[in-house]
């Protein structure tokens, strides 16, 4: 059962978190170029939809991860506690800053307003921190300090 949970956890992370990190990273520059490109606003809208839908699917990642940790008996491990904390911070950034920032920029584009560079830069900053947190969690999941796997 542990192997099945681990496989599902890793697949969920790849399938759900991967698209969010890529689409969220593409969003600020696409928003800056939206007016200059044919269907540029459509591209921005698609990137936002990818972020919203896959972030919802991404809820499976920590759920399956906690199930895997419980099955492995590592719930009290420092690397896991750190990973869960960083995952919570990343999810918070996504919910509080990234998705609403995308909503705001998309609303401005839909209203025909010019985008302020500071708005796209701020969104890019929060997106970059979100991606860095996920990269850190990935490293912790692979290296697992104190692991007996030798990794």
Per-residue confidence in pLDDT tens, the chain, 151 aa: 889 999 999 999 999 999 999 999 999 999 999 988 888 999 999 999 999 999 999 999 999 999 999 998 888 888 899 999 999 999 999 999 999 999 999 999 999 888 989 999 999 999 999 999 999 999 988 887 766 554 4
pLDDT for res 149: 57
List, in order, residues 6 or more apart from 57 with CB less than 8 Å away: 12, 15, 16
Q: Where are the domains of the chain?
A: 2-143
Q: What is the pTM of this model?
A: 0.90
pLDDT for res 89: 97
List, in order, residues 6 or more apart from 118 with CB less than 8 Å away: none
Neighbours of 71 (CB within 10 A): 15
């Amino acid at each position: 059962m542990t192997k099945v949970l681990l496989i599902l956890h890793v697949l969920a992370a790849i399938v759900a978190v991967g698209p969010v990190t890529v689409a969220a990273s593409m969003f600020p520059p696409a928003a800056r170029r939206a007016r200059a490109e044919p269907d540029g606003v459509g591209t921005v809208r698609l990137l936002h939809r990818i972020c919203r839908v896959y972030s919802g699917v991404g809820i499976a990642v920590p759920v399956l991860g906690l199930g895997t940790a419980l099955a492995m008996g590592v719930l009290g491990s420092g690397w896991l506690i750190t990973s869960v904390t960083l995952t919570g911070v990343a999810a918070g950034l996504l919910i509080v800053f990234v998705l609403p920032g995308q909503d705001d920029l998309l609303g401005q584009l839909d209203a025909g307003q010019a985008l302020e560079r500071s708005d796209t830069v701020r969104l890019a900053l929060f997106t970059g921190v979100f991606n860095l947190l996920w990269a850190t969690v990935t490293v912790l999941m692979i290296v697992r300090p104190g692991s007996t796997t030798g990794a």
